[in-house]
A and B are shown apart, each in its own frame.
Chain A
C-alpha cells in the first residue's frame, strides 16, 4: 500500500495512484492531481467528477457511455475534458477506484 501527500493530506493510494478510500477526497485534491495531467479543472470537469462519485457510490459500473448520457457533456466532450484516457483520468481525479468496465 502506498501513501501520497495530496493538497497537504496523506492519502492511501494503490500502486497506480487511485484512492483506496473515496471519502478522503476533496475538490482541492482534484485540482492538485489535475496538474499531473496538465489540466485546469473547470466547473464542467467538477460536474463530471461529482457524477462519477455518485454513480460509484451507488455501486453502478462506470462507462464512458453513461457519462455521455449524463447530460453534463457528450462523449466527444468527455474526451476533450480529459484527453487521452477520459474515464481513467476522471476516475483518478474524483478519488474513486480504477474503472473496471470494458466499455
Chain B
C-alpha cells in the first residue's frame, strides 16, 4: 500500500467470519481477497456457522435468509413478505438469484474465491473449538484451508505494526 499523508499503511489484516449466509461469507471473502490484491498480509479465520464457507460439503450451498430480513425486496423493489420466505424453495431461489447476479460482476463461487485468496498468498484457517463442536476435521474442510487453529494461535499471528482484526 502507498503511504498517504504520512499515515502508516495497513500491513496485515485478520478477518473473522462467524456466520454462514451468502452475504456474511462474501463480505469476508471480498475484503480478504481485496487485501491480498493490495499486497496486505491477509489471514481469514472461520468459526461457528462461518465454517460452512470452508466445509467441502456446504461451501457451494450457501443461502441467504429470506425470513426476518427487512432489507429483502422483490426484484422490482416491492417489500418481500417474511411469510413468503418460509415457503419451501423460496430461499433457494433467492439465493440462486443472488449468486447469478454476483457472477455477472465477476464475483467467483466460494471454492474459486478461496483459491484466489491462497494463490495470492492469503491464509485460511478454521476455528478449533467450532470444528470440535460441529465434528469437523481437516479432511472435511477445503484443501485451501491451511490449518485448524485455536484463538491463542490466531492472536499469535496478529502481532506487529499496522495490523487490524476485523469481525465481519
Contacts and interface: CB of A to CB of B under 8 A. Distances in A.
Interface of A: 16, 61, 63-66, 68, 74-76, 79, 83-88, 101-103
A102 B121 CA distance: 17
Given A65-B106, A75-B119, A83-B39, 10 more contacts: A16-B2, A61-B105, A64-B116, A68-B116, A84-B39, A86-B37, A86-B120, A88-B38, A102-B30, A103-B30
Interface string B77-109: 000000000000000000000000000011110
A86 to B, nearest CB: 7
A66 B112 CA distance: 13
Contacts of A85: 37-39
B27 to A, nearest CB: 11
Contact of B108 (A61, A65, A86, A101): A65
Interface of B: 2, 30, 33-34, 37-39, 105-108, 112, 115-116, 119-121
Contacts of A68: 116, 119
A101 B112 CA distance: 17
Contacts of A87: 37
A75 B34 contact: no
